[in-house]
Amino acid sequence: MQIIQQILFVAAFGLAAYFISKRIQIIKKTIQLGRAEDRSDNPSERLKTMLRIAFGQKKMFDRPIVGILHFVIYAGFLLINVEVLEIVLDGILGTHRLFAPVLGSFYAFLINFFEILAAGVLLVCIVFLIRRNITKVERLQATRHRELNGFPVIDANTILFAEIILMTALLSMNAVDSILQERGNEHYHPVGSFVISSFLKPIFSNWNETALIIYERTAWWLHILGILGFALYVTYSKHLHIFLAFPNTYFSNLKAKGEMPNMPEVTKEVQIMLGLAQPDAEASTEIARFGAKDIKDLSWKNLMDAYSCTECGRCTSSCPANLTGKALSPRKIMMDTRDRLEEVGRNLAVNGGIFVEDGKALYGSYITSEELRACTTCNACVQECPINISPLDIILQLRRYQIMEESDAPASWNAMFSNLETNQAPWKFATSDRFNWANEVK
């Protein structure tokens, strides 16, 4: 019987690893569709940023209560996986509590610590479910934010329920394990009772040994299969940020938030016009595209941002355009970009890795001109994001395409552009008259 369990476990583990690796390859390929962008400078500063923002959860604690609750789940996810490692090895080797003889009395301390974390995760998940579905925090409501309709709401609740089930399975498994130890079952090594699961023991105390073994094995399988299923599911979910938050913060933009990157092609032309540079005879005079129309026009970092988005809505809740009723939602910009990435990924998958034109684009099919025009470029969304995502960078590139390629700008904007070109100022008067107002000052 034991060898059958080992075979089934290895098969389940291998199957999960296969599908997860396939999914990772698709995500990697779609991110690599983006334009090249060098984010290798200043590695020490980048490492500090990652440790402070991703590991240290610095921005989450801008809202202390939510920050503490999120930290409990975050710490639980990282540390409880040490116990998952033991479960995986037990499944492969056919052992039970493999680390117990090696660690001695320290083993019980570790399991007690993990159980406290598991109980904390369980309670926090319940609190988060209440916040989403009963007290209804405004930035998390689909009735107010159309981008949350459908899968996003289901996804958020699914993950929270899954965490509750996994933690309950872990704690009840330990409780039954402890009872079987006390009854002298040879497979269950004596390691003692644990701090949280001991409170669950009365529920199972009257069960016979066969029923206890069946429950313990069922909970064990439920926990490990749940972990494997969770690992695959998060690659389709907003919870992919669990893994991508670290590289995403490492490759953060280290420049001042108010600094907008120039288009190299345009900068070169302006420098030539001003006599600050000479034309390059070998360079192509044709520019492929101004700004960005689709995901392949964005940088790989923009695309990683989209996959990393937590959908927390902090960006949208701080956006002045959104707060005044405009169509713009920075969260929607990121979610739309990810949806388009997913669509392109499916296109690549069914066409042997080659993209077949589908008549759609990020601008127009997903994001409208009305949304882009509403942006004030205030950087509030960038400031608020807990993992340093920049919706503004995507907005600016799409808006450049909208105006420079589609010539889709309001008349007042076109007048300003014309004035900038002829008078080097937004106002319609000659440069020589710019300081005439000073003559009236006494």
Q: Which residues contact 345 (CB under 8 A, 6 or more apart)?
A: 26, 27, 29, 30
Question: Phi, psi (5° rounding) for residue 287?
Answer: -95, 130
pLDDT of residue 284: 55
Q: How far apart are CA 295 and CA 410, in angstroms?
A: 25
Query: Which residues have a Cβ under 8 Å from the Cβ of 390 and sit 6 or more positions away?
Result: 253, 302, 305, 381, 382
* Reported CATH class of domain 264-424: mainly alpha
Strand segments, DSSP code E, in 236-286 are none
C-beta separation of 26 from 351 below 8 A: no
Helix residue ranges per DSSP H, 274-368: 300-308, 314-318, 320-323, 330-350
Are residues 402 and 387 in contact, defined by beta-carbon separation less than 8 angstroms?
Answer: no
Return d(Cα 373, Cα 74) in angstroms, integer.
Answer: 37
Decide if 115 contacts 196 (C-beta within 8 A).
yes
| All structural domains of the chain with their residue ranges | 2-250, 264-424
Q: How many CA atoms lie within 13 A of 380 on its CB side?
A: 18
Amino acid at 17: A
Q: Yes or no: say if 244 and 388 are a contact pair by the CB < 8 Å rule.
A: no
pLDDT of residue 442: 61
Q: CB–CB of 362/340 below 8 Å?
A: yes
CA atoms of 29 and 114, how far apart (whole Å) = 37
Q: Residue 88: which of 101, 75, 98 has the closest Cα?
A: 98
CB atoms inside a 10 Å sphere around CB 370: 10
Angstrom distances, CA of residue 210 to CA of 8, 119, 180: 21, 27, 10
* Tokens matching residue 410: 């309001």
Nearest to 70 by CA among 250, 310, 248: 310
- Structure tokens, 262: 């120039």
Taking the chain (442 residues) in runs of 10, the rounded mean pLDDT of each run is 82 93 92 92 95 92 89 83 82 85 86 92 94 91 90 93 92 92 82 88 92 92 89 92 94 89 80 77 64 94 95 94 94 96 91 87 94 94 95 95 88 84 78 76 69
Opening angle at CA 302, ends 301 and 308, nearest 5: 85
How far apart CA 298 and CA 399 sit, in angstroms, is: 12
Would you say 246 and 54 are in contact if contact means Cβ atoms under 8 Å apart?
yes
CA dist., res. 50 & res. 197, Å (int): 36
Q: Answer for the pair 34, 295: CB distance below 8 angstroms, yes or no.
A: yes
Classify burial at 259, counting beta carbons within 10 Å of its beta carbon; exposed 0-12, middle 13-18, buried 19 or more: exposed
